[in-house]
Structure 1
């Protein structure tokens, strides 16, 4: 594909994002994919371990290279396996793609992994590969800057990793080689996947890090690979990821809180100079704002636990004896706000007694006069095991502030429901 053709397609992508009424994202992407070089020349060597034929639920993919400032790859793997139970390990496989060509580094790295993680390799939970593109056009680019070379190398390495992993499991988790994993991160991701099963999504984000913590459908990986190999230098790799989700119909990022993955150290990567923004977003205030709001619900109160109690930032809670599909709990603010994070907790304890079993959170716009809600709502996401904790993202060019936040019941349940906590950051 010629450079002017690439620019024309990027312009189409930009136009699609600027004009939200136009919903031709997928058609634009099909045009890109049709003209994009694929991994026809890719070859792989398995350096340690071997995959099983049985398909897993999740592949954890890590691409690693030699770093002048040292490596956290072994620490990352230690953290990953330490944070995972035996049951979780049975449902996933870890693929490490070593992208550096230095034979001494390759040999030492493979030896270290083989010794430290022998049990996981024997159990087919971990294997190490090296992929090469051979005569692919990617290797024939002339780079005008170190950043252009970095972007190209990143896209090539991620493309090779994803290409190898695309048929190993139903879902793919991308991780960098310098992260710490939160305990039971696999179960947390599985719960979110189950809750989002009936909703359209492209990328679920479980970390603020630029690449780590992003979960994909494995069936989407071939298209993402095509996208990476179409634009071999600019734009930066993480921006292509954002554009990819737009192209296949996800209008805003879906970001869960708290982060499941953190970097081992600040300023770890020497690549930061190639990026304009910080690796981590600014930390939100510890305390929520919970701006003044009128509470509307068509649920009955029980045992003197009122609807307002759940929003009061106190130990009090709202209780109702039954809920049906279409029941709602709605906050109507006294003015418009830019809501940046929402946390909703239903039920009690680790067992989730009296939690909302089927529900979703929506953002509302244009309040109606009778204070029963808003005229228009957009879906933010479903509750996961009775809880909801997500960031709210906005399109920079079309930023409409929120007037309502609604919890909508999507199926009846016979037990009591308790909404124990609602926290809003604005």
Structure 2
């Protein structure tokens, strides 16, 4: 048989693979449109029809002097066709549908969809690792207000095969989070063993050991089950792990970042590590679950979700900086593995002042911001701070109040423990009672006029008491000199008094 040039061979392989994936995605779309109400026999017909199309494509390639790999492809398709059968649990082999009532072992399903569903799969560790789950839940709960908790559902997946370990998770949550279980904020689920595909004798891609392949393949199936269960519970889904710490006001930060998007997206990243902090639309969960389950033994989920993004035309990560979630565990769910990775973009910057008023305002600056470390983060409750290029004399950082305020105190902190050198070396705090007219430029240094000096910065900090009898329209940082280091404005706290 005449052989094709290497470039054409590669193209044939790529086209064949993409055809297979596209046909499969079409299938999952079809099933999703029916809300999982198709009977198993109906799904078999769809799947068999798809397999027929695939075989036709293989025959076409072979007729075009295809390659030896065609034979392997045919065998794989035949194997998948043979696997299309309903098992005793009523689930088809290709189906990722979940019986939510049977899966849920603690908690109730709320009547209304939440804004955000947080998925937390957990596997018991030994020693200090046993504390990871409760620390993660405590961190999530501590960073949510009572109003936030009405917008969120946390689904904990007890993913151990061992019944005793699952019961330990259930007992922990039942005893420690009783109220949250009763009102539907926290649910606990488990998967039937029949959901899982074979976990032994798998291909050892990347030179992984047999135990590691089994661990990551099971992890993929865990995620597939959790994603499928959470479908329909909320508008958005956030993937976490059981050993993470949450940033302050993470929910408002997620809402703000979602609102800022002006182009279609598949995944938003709120952490740079693995499969932590990934946000999805609810309508994509079932397809993602099917995709991960279909390729569960091929690659880790950290790789698979990126391929999913690419297939749905998201070419690059869309990440919020700073990150909102940090990995904190050392003991991995893989026995003997120590996990020391940290997200360098995470900011654990809980405010120094929790009693400040910070009335509504527009925050702007003449400085260029680095990445997403934008000006308003220094003033708002959202996690983060401003970080930008070195200031020169005349640069400003302005807070323009929506309504004039009777201000009695202003505190501004620059620099932080991680970047102590990035504080303001030369500057002063100024205020103005008069907003600029429409004839003035909209630049931040023209938001107000007739500024008055209040106090100079010392060691990157200013704490000033003001005359609260006079309304203030603007307060600003004015750079009185040029410095070589960047500027980090960590926090601006403003206290007002009633008129």
Q: Same fold (TM over 0.5)?
A: yes
Once residues 248 and 121 of structure 1 are traced to their aligned partners in structure 2, the CA distance between those partners, rounded to angstroms, is: 36
**How far does residue 46 in structure 1 lie from its aligned partner after superposition?**
1.9
Q: Does 1:79 pair with 2:144?
A: no
**How far does residue 121 in structure 1 lie from its aligned partner after superposition?**
1.2
Unmatched runs of 5 consecutive residues or more in structure 1: 1-7, 17-23, 285-306, 314-339, 356-413
**How far does residue 268 in structure 1 lie from its aligned partner after superposition?**
3.2
Alignment of 1:49-198 (within 5 A): 49-69=107-127, 70-71=129-130, 72-132=132-192, 134=194, 138-139=197-198, 142-143=201-202, 144=204, 145-196=210-261, 198=262
TM-score with structure 1 setting the length: 0.60
Matched residue, 2:14:
12
**How far does residue 68 in structure 1 lie from its aligned partner after superposition?**
3.7
**How far does residue 113 in structure 1 lie from its aligned partner after superposition?**
0.6
Q: Give secondary structure in 1 for the equivalent of 2:194.
A: coil
Matched residue, 1:221:
285
Once residues 11 and 285 of structure 2 are traced to their aligned partners in structure 1, the CA distance between those partners, rounded to angstroms, is: 20
Offset from partner CA, 1:150-196 (integer Å, 9 cap, x none): 22111111111111101100100001000111111111101111222
Unmatched runs of 5 consecutive residues or more in structure 2: 1-9, 29-46, 51-79, 81-93, 205-209, 347-364, 382-397, 402-439, 446-475, 478-485, 488-499
Once residues 157 and 92 of structure 1 are traced to their aligned partners in structure 2, the CA distance between those partners, rounded to angstroms, is: 21
**How far does residue 89 in structure 1 lie from its aligned partner after superposition?**
0.5
Pair 1:123–1:11, CA change in 2 (3 A) = farther
**How far does residue 95 in structure 1 lie from its aligned partner after superposition?**
0.6
- Where is the helix percentage greater, Structure 1 or Structure 2? 2
Pair 1:47–1:107, CA change in 2 (3 A) = same
Pair 1:147–1:78, CA change in 2 (3 A) = same
Once residues 236 and 39 of structure 1 are traced to their aligned partners in structure 2, the CA distance between those partners, rounded to angstroms, is: 18
Matched residue, 2:309:
245
Once residues 256 and 209 of structure 1 are traced to their aligned partners in structure 2, the CA distance between those partners, rounded to angstroms, is: 13
Q: Give secondary structure in 1 for the equivalent of 2:284.
A: helix
Pair 1:342–1:103, CA change in 2 (3 A) = closer
Aligned residues: 300
8 Å CA contact 1:208–1:279 kept in 2: the answer is no
Matched residue, 2:375:
345
Alignment of 1:330-409 (within 5 A): 341=371, 343-345=373-375, 349-350=379-380
**How far does residue 342 in structure 1 lie from its aligned partner after superposition?**
5.2
Pair 1:181–1:350, CA change in 2 (3 A) = closer
Query: Which structure's CA Rg is the greater one?
Result: 2
**How far does residue 142 in structure 1 lie from its aligned partner after superposition?**
2.1
Once residues 283 and 348 of structure 1 are traced to their aligned partners in structure 2, the CA distance between those partners, rounded to angstroms, is: 16
Pair 1:141–1:260, CA change in 2 (3 A) = same
Pair 1:146–1:168, CA change in 2 (3 A) = same
8 Å CA contact 2:331–2:337 kept in 1: the answer is no
8 Å CA contact 2:228–2:286 kept in 1: the answer is yes
8 Å CA contact 1:42–1:131 kept in 2: the answer is no
